[in-house]
Structure 1
């Protein structure tokens, strides 16, 4: 992970840029080059009822890493592919949530809805604890404070 699917490019074209591309992308993304999976998808494009050349297109499937990294990855792919003589290329990103991506039957992350529910429960408990602490503090200082001082602290 990440997976890069190349369409409209030959195996030889991807092989020619693969080594340097993997090295640069792994530095941008922050992963090992061996974590990247480059696949050439063989497709047949039909235009006007006839077989036509497929447009060069790269789909990056990954866990979202933010706009800055996404932009850098797109520029890197563009530079390597167009630098190899391909006049145009498009890049699209498909982001997976770790809770929706499984390896050997196990998800890569917790379900965000379950995490949110746990955080909301923790937040409610903290609110209750804070309300009790404020009440206890107010009761403890109520007898030893003048009415004027208590009113000033409330403001």
Structure 2
């Protein structure tokens, strides 16, 4: 169920690294491969009244898996993007779902 939402990086570039990155994440998170979804979000940045490049930003939305796993996941994603796509700077943040507030088909976990 980890949702990886990416802005500011071309979707074709993400496709190039997605399989290897998900392989590494499956090992780190210990959940099936089909639980992962990568979403490339097209957005427009505006600075000083002008359209500008979107700063690379990754959001991982998931259920809490502890700080150690979170650190490992952050490193896997960051390393794959920076090293393979030649992106020098990027940010990554985690959004943690609470089971009692998460619903699938109208039923909470």
1:95 maps to 2:96: yes
Q: Write the mapping of 1:122-137 to structure 2, written as runs, cut at 5 A.
A: none
* 2:107 paired residue number: 106
Q: CA RMSD in A?
A: 0.6
The Cα shift of 1:87 comes to: 1.1
* 2:33 paired residue number: 33
Equivalent residues, number: 108
The Cα shift of 1:33 comes to: 1.2
From the CA coordinates, give the structure whose radius of gyration is larger: 1
TM-score, reference length from structure 2: 0.97
* 1:50 paired residue number: 50
The Cα shift of 1:13 comes to: 1.1
Give 5+ residue unaligned stretches, structure 2: none
More strand by share: 2
The Cα shift of 1:71 comes to: 0.3
TM-score, reference length from structure 1: 0.68
Please give the secondary structure, in 2, of the residue aligned with 1:55.
coil
* 2:73 paired residue number: 73
Structure 1, residues 88-122: CA drift from partner, whole Å, max 9, x if none?
111100000111111111101xxxxxxxxxxxxxx
